[in-house]
Amino acid sequence: MATDTKTPWIRLGRLLSLERKSVFKILFYAVFAGLVELGLPLGIQAIVNIIVGGSFNASVILLTGVVLFSVAFGGVLRYMQLRIGEDLQQRIFARSSFELIYRFPKMKYSALQNEYPPELANRFFDVMTIQKTLPKLLIEFSSAFIQIGFGLILLSLYHPFFVFFGFLLIALFYVIFKLSLREGVKESLHESNYKYKTAHWIQEVARSIEGFKVSESFSYASQRNDETSLKYLNAREKHFRVLRFQFFKMIAFKVIVAAALLIVGGLLVINEQMNIGQFVAAEIIIVLMINSVEKLIKGLEDLYVLIAGLEKLGRVTDIPIEIQGGNKPLNREQDFIFEYKNINLSLGNEKVLKNINATIYPNDSILVQGTPGSGKSTLLRVLAGLIDNIEGNILVNDFNLKNIDLTYFRDFAGHYFPNNQTFEGTILENITLNNPDISMDYVQFLIKKLELSEFVKSQDKGLETIIYTEGRHLPYTINKKIMIARAIASKPKLLVLKDPTQDLMEDESKKIIDFLSGPDRTWALVVVSTNQLWKDKCNRFFYMDNGEMTINE
């Protein structure tokens, strides 16, 4: 994985920048809601002053109506914030799902060497955390800050003491925020890390479910789960200590502020520096401000969760992808010549391909052999343009692959490897990937040539039969044939295959080999296999040994 230089705060800033229109709208409604809600204490102040004066007239009814209207209108403004927040949630979900779907197929091969993509895909569930916490924080934090700000301004009009109180309030909140923020974010990230490690181990057990059925294996599975779960619980406990610190500081803060204001407010009334209506209004404002501060402090937990979610999702989106775009100079109607010049490849600290030079012509059938671990499979991936960080040059009809759109090029280079798996979808979708350029006649042709006809006929829905993830409930050989059909369906100019006939019956193998290497094919063929039948069908032979290649014509 690429080294990540983005801090969680940079990620949050970028997300807010993407959604700045929604952020501004939420702030706009928060300002107006804060102004409208000032009608509550001001209205009550006026009503109390009238009642204390010993009169009850139409003014009281009017003021009561104004207060009720301000409460109702404030509710409407809060609803507008909720509506914007809901739209924001939907956009975050849609954008994140699209981004991951876009990025996964384009991630650099070299960047995934130490990663397990299905486990990385689990990070998508942090999108739910982000989409729920971000609007909540925007609405509650903006409302709280606006309410505190307007409240302080209004209180300062009653007496200069409240100006001092306002600065004290801000200072106390800053101290609580400063003392707990860094530790809260750190522990939230630790908690998230161990959560995913626990989920990954459960996923591993589920993936290897048959191997863990014996008692010894079950004990090992439980032991590993205990280790990761205990680390999660320890991280969670440390996180809770931060929250506990915030909670007790908040209680102390509320008690001190309430006591100070009640005492000072009472003294101001006794000394006739405030009237009773102003005192009641001031206490209402103070209660609202204390509740706002409580919202801010409690909201810090959501902030920690949001930061952790952004960080975990960012670990996926930070994985570099292949260079996108480029020229599209190739013509399917012409013959293709593939040239590989001075190809070198290192994965980690190991050099796996060394100075590979080869030319593949349109009618070539090439058998690649070699010792185990000599680089045969890696060579096939390089030939098909699946590995990005090679040294040297690949030329296709004299066009350098570095200048060609990779996605476009791969339409001309089919491949099959034993780890290729079907996805959940119909047989037809697994073969064509919904490519409209692949005709049904050609699909039927491939089914016949790859000995799939009897299987398809035996299914009630034929090609519309649903296949489950990784070809569960499918014979291994059927899954293999479907994957080979997918590799050929786009009529590639280069076809690379790893053990395509392994585990097939001998008569099936012979028919499929005859088809794949037959004179009517449209592709140059490169195959890695120990099946001796290939030797009679291939006109060239590559031999791999410790990353070096020898060519025998």
Distances (CA, A) of 409 to 315, 402, 412: 29, 11, 6
Q: What is the pLDDT of residues 56-89, one digit of tens each?
A: 667 767 777 777 887 788 788 888 988 999 999 9
Residues 416 and 476 in one domain: yes
- Residue 62 in domain: yes
Please tell me the least confidently modeled range out of 227-236, 241-250, 537-546.
241-250
Does residue 294 share a domain with residue 362? no
Looking at every residue in the chain, the average pLDDT score rounds to: 86
Lateral strand order in the sheet of 494-498:
413-416, 494-498, 524-528, 365-370, 540-545, 548-552
Query: Per-residue pLDDT averaged across 367-374, rounded?
Result: 92
Report if residue 100 sits inside a domain: yes
Across the range 12-16, mean pLDDT stands at: 89
Residue 282 shares a structural domain with residue 415: no
Let me know whether 536 and 461 are in one domain.
yes
DSSP for 5-36 reads ---HHHHHHHHHHHTHHHHHHHHHHHHHHHHH
CATH number, residue 237: 1.20.1560.10
Higher pLDDT, 470 or 394: 394
- Cβ neighbours of 451 (radius 10 Å): 19
Look up the domain containing 397 and give its range. Answer: 338-552
**Is 349 contained in some domain?**
yes
Question: 238 and 364: one domain?
Answer: no
Q: Do 269 and 345 share a domain, yes or no?
A: no
Number of domains in the chain: 2
Do 201 and 276 lie in one domain? The reply is: yes
Predicted pLDDT of residue 53? 63
Summarised one tens digit per residue, pLDDT across range 183-218 is 888 888 888 889 989 988 888 888 888 788 776 777
Is 70 exceeded by the pLDDT of residue 401? Answer: yes
Whether residue 368 sits in one domain with residue 294: no
* Cα–Cα distance for residue pair 363/95, rounded to 1 Å: 45
Residues in the chain: 553
**Inside any domain, residue 366:** yes
pLDDT for 368 equals 95
Q: Are residues 290 and 429 located together in one domain of the fold?
A: no
In a domain, 523, yes or no: yes
Tell me: do 361 and 307 sit in the same domain. Answer: no
Domain end position, chosen among 317, 350, 377: 317
Residue 328 lies in a domain: no
Any domain includes 168: yes
